[in-house]
Amino acid sequence: MRFFLHPWHAARQFIIRQLIRLLTKPLKSYTFRFPNDLAALKRHLKKGDVILVEGEQRISEVVKYLTQSSWSHSAIYIGDELIRRRHPQAEQARLEFGDEANYLLVEALVEEGVVCSPLSKYLNFNLRVCRPYNLRKDHLQVIFDEVISQLGHTYDLRNAFDLARYFLPVSLVPRRFRRKALQFGSGLPTQVMCSSMLAVAFGRVGFPIVPRVAPHDYNEPQRSSFLRRFLQLASGSGPSFIFRRSSPTLVTPRDFDLSPYFEVVKFPVLDPSRVDYRKIVWAEDEEEQPLPPPRAVATTRS
């Protein structure tokens, strides 16, 4: 029996490798909007920050369309945590990245599994940083324990359909099914493609990303008037809330951007006191259409 299964296994692995190669091929249409300053990134980033990346691969375009977002990938910034912990991979990181081993990300990639990468890897990509509010230091260490324990783990892509689905015409996927379109098949590639690894890590300490929230009296809204309930909430004496966890396999990079529990830090970071739009020198483009004249505001006489 094994004799007959072996050729099929080899053929399946070959198909999967070819699909991965096609899905991770860079696209020529990528638009890099603002230059990133590596020194500024190192200066402003904090351990535990979630880095959102606008990817340049075919699979990035599919993820962005299905999630209706600019962000197709996420990673967590651990800085020099490997070196500080004297982790077995710390020396390899030093040899491979040099001084950049002090500025590392942990990320999950479909072609490589869970790896450490230098911050400079995404210097020429559009980035956004999401910083968890009021995360305790001991809880941050628990999160690091989780993601670092995943290093070197490669995902078994059991079903070629898990990858082949990304070649489907995603514009035909109904809006209400787009998020779940990232979840079918065995589910294993989803843990690599999306932000499931980070969702599990933050879930270890009960830190919310996109929980489902409802008040305790959600099922009985008619017991009090809307005004009374509003005044209770405004004064802090309203009903307490029940938080329900979302499935980690449904968490996407977009959710970190939208979550009220994360501060959004845009890069490049600008000093508001030094921003003066009046000093911007605009290039004169002959092909650029002139701005239309302002509309006159219609007034009516009473």
| Segment 269-298, tens digit of pLDDT | 777 778 888 888 888 765 666 666 776 666
Q: What is the pLDDT at residue 296?
A: 65
- Strands 113-118 and 104-109: what pairing? antiparallel
Place of tokens 């990181």: 93
259, 208 in Cβ contact below 8 A? yes
Q: Which CATH superfamily includes the segment(s) 2-207+248-266?
A: endopeptidase domain like (from Nostoc punctiforme) (3.90.1720.10)
Q: What is the pLDDT at residue 191?
A: 45
Q: pLDDT band for position 124 (50/70/90)?
A: very high
Q: Per the structure block, which two tokens stand in for 210? A: 């996109």
231 has pLDDT over 70: no
179 has pLDDT over 60: no
Most confident of 130-134, 152-156, 193-197, 269-273: 130-134
Give 115's strand partners: 107
Question: 3-class DSSP state for residue 26?
Answer: strand
- Strands 113-118 and 50-54: what pairing? unpaired
CB atoms within 10 A of CB 50: 23
Write down the mean pLDDT value for the chain. 79
Distance, C-alpha 211 to centroid of its chain: 16
**Backbone torsions φ then ψ of 274, nearest 5 degrees:** -110, 5
Distance CA 71, CA 251 (A): 12
Dihedral sign from CA coordinates of 185, 243, 136, 128: positive
112 has pLDDT over 90: no
Q: pLDDT band for position 96 (50/70/90)?
A: very high
- E-strand ranges in the chain read 50-54, 73-79, 104-109, 113-118, 126-132, 212-215, 241-244, 262-266
For residue range 22-43, list pLDDT tens digits in order.
Answer: 778 888 888 888 888 999 999 9
Which sequence spans correspond to the domains of the chain?
2-207+248-266, 212-245
Distance CA 136, CA 141 (A): 9
Work out the average pLDDT over 225-253: 67
213 has pLDDT over 60: yes
Q: Per the structure block, which two tokens stand in for 200? A: 């599990």
Distance, C-alpha 258 to centroid of its chain: 10
Q: What is the pLDDT at residue 32?
A: 86
Share of the chain above pLDDT 90, in %: 37
For residue range 56-84, list pLDDT tens digits in order.
Answer: 887 787 778 777 888 989 999 999 999 99
Share of the chain above pLDDT 70, in %: 71
44 has pLDDT over 70: yes
185 has pLDDT over 50: no
**CA-based nearest residue to 240, from 206, 267, 216, 210:** 216
First to last CA, the chain: 91
